[in-house]
Amino acid sequence: MKRVRLLAGLLTIAMVTACGGSDSAERSAPKGADGTVRIAINPWVGYEASAAVVAYLLKHELGYKVELKKSGEADSWKGFEDGTVDVVIENWAHPELKKTYIEDSKLAISAGQNGNKGVIGWYVPEWMVQRYPDITDYRNLSKYKDLFKTDKSGDLGQYLAGDRSYVTNDEALVKNLGLPFKVVYSGSEDALIKAAQEATEKKKPLLMYFYEPQWLFNQLKLVKINLPPYAIGCDKDPKQVACDYPPYLLDKIVSTTFAQSGGRAYELVKNFSWTNDDQNSVAYDIAVNKMSPEAAAQKWVEANKIVWQEWIPA
């Protein structure tokens, strides 16, 4: 009986040891290698369109699970540190975040450009330019300030900004260019779009922050204000910015762990590259046609195999 008990005890120890080894292997499994890809979702529909297409292909072509995490731009990068984010599919420069997470901590890397060309600027409805032809010169905005007054801006003209998490130099620009305007945050892309639509339909004056790629430009016309030209380094000090926004070649940021162990999922993300028109078509289906992001992605994927086939790793 003692020998039986001894053998049973040894078997129990062996089983516990084996199970412990298995658990340890699972815990040490690299991110992305567990069959799940974690993609940040930033708060504008163009980003959501890009993420939806990549997620659809990861799931239906490569067999991965995908987790989508909604967060602001800067907060998404924090996910590289705690393992909750593998991919930021559309990054608008953010040199300060690249320094922190890529150069200093080595927690992330760039996975290359995503093909989208970004523009940020100040815009007015086309009808305002037709009525006030010189309004596109920022130096003439002061004389039109009364047109832009609202309850929120008081005696100043209102400049309508977007979400506070967006890339923006607007408060510094208003101050440093000496413009009698108050920056009022709309809080979201939807609010900006509704303001632009109302300003166009009802001929209401509007000076606003906006950007490309953006599906709304297929529906109505906005005209960009000519701010002082951008020059390399003119926006180095955020508090002293007095120049236009730079052109943006948008890129993809991934966690270093995902780049090293994400396998075919990482290769797909790295290969992903499409045009502003591609993004706008999917974003339009989400925003206007009220399709779910996955349904809009499926529609685009089914119609554009010649584009995405090259993204699929061998």
Domain with CATH 3.40.190.10 in the chain: 36-116+250-311
Q: With bands split at pLDDT 50, 70 and 90, how would you rate the model's confidence at 23?
A: very low
Q: What is the reported pLDDT for 34?
A: 63
For residue 30, pLDDT over 60 is answered with: no
Position of tokens 């290698």?
33
| CA separation, residue 263 to residues 21, 33, 58, 92, 280 (Å) | 24, 7, 12, 25, 29
Question: Which of 17-31, 46-60, 114-128 has the weakest average pLDDT?
Answer: 17-31
Mean pLDDT of 174-186: 98
- How open is the CA angle 24-30-32, to the nearest 5 degrees? 135
Q: List, for residues 49-106, the tens digit of each pLDDT value.
A: 999 999 999 999 999 999 999 999 999 999 999 999 999 999 999 999 999 999 999 9
Q: List, for residues 193-251, the tens digit of each pLDDT value.
A: 999 999 999 999 999 999 999 999 999 999 999 999 999 999 999 999 999 999 999 99
Work out the widest C-alpha separation in the chain, in whole angstroms: 102
Q: What is the reported pLDDT for 4?
A: 36
Q: What is the reported pLDDT for 12?
A: 38
At residue 106, what are phi and psi to the nearest 5 degrees?
Answer: 60, 25
Burial of 129 (0-12, 13-18, 19+ CB in 10 A): middle
Domain with CATH 3.40.190.100 in the chain: 118-240
Q: What percent of the chain has pLDDT over 90?
A: 89
Q: What is the reported pLDDT for 148?
A: 98
User: What is the length of the chain?
Assistant: 314
| CA separation, residue 42 to residues 46, 89, 138, 150, 297 (Å) | 9, 9, 30, 29, 17
The superfamily CATH assigns to domain 36-116+250-311 is: Periplasmic binding protein-like II (3.40.190.10)
Q: What is the CATH number of domain 118-240?
A: 3.40.190.100
Q: What percent of the chain has pLDDT over 70?
A: 89
Mean pLDDT of 163-190: 97
